[in-house]
Structure 1
Amino acid sequence: MPKRVLTGLIVSDKGDKTVVVNVERKVKHPLYGKIIRRSKKYHAHDEANEYKAGETVRIEEIAPISKLKTWKVIERVNTHATPERVDIDEGAAAA
């Protein structure tokens, strides 16, 4: 059976070797048919403590490591935690 892979946003990196990933899904309401958002938080294993809050990552289901951790971070999809610094040229700004 293939392992499930989800994509979500890291909302906490406070634990040692653990990150909390918020995965958001869009589902159709069974009666009214409106598309609504559902979210769930997963505790995922981060062996090297390399992922930070605000980054978008992919997590993969694994055998249980602890009571809450049954997922591990496999890759960084996008990072919003460390935006690039933009330097404004002083000469161009004065002109």
Structure 2
Amino acid sequence: MLLIREVMYCKPGKVRAMVEKSLAMAKLSEKSGLGKMRVMTDFCAERYWTIVSEFEVPTMQAFEEMMQGQGQSPELNKEFEKIMEGYHDLVEHGRREIYKIEG
């Protein structure tokens, strides 16, 4: 099992809009059977205006397939695209962390 963490560093004043997009993604992901996603904001972090979304996947292959939209309907993919439309205007940069869950 792997833990995927998407770390986004938002532009000042853009955190709430990105949180709303992330929560909508989490809701749609769970509804579509992709699993539960947690969305967190910084209380004390490396830098201000940080959002972290994390979720689990069984394998790297499953993650790659999910990122490519495999097994998802075109309608679902369009919903994901609509939710994330314009997110580049909210984020300065980000990174992905992938951890193996040991226990």
What TM bracket, shorter-length normalisation? under 0.3
Q: Write 1 or 2 for the structure with the bigger share of strand.
A: 1
Q: Taking structure 2 as the reference length, what is the TM-score of the superposition? A: 0.23
1 or 2, which has the higher helix percentage? 2
> TM-score, structure 1 length as denominator?
0.24
Q: Greater Rg, structure 1 or structure 2?
A: 1
Higher RCO structure (Cα 8 Å, ≥6 apart): 2
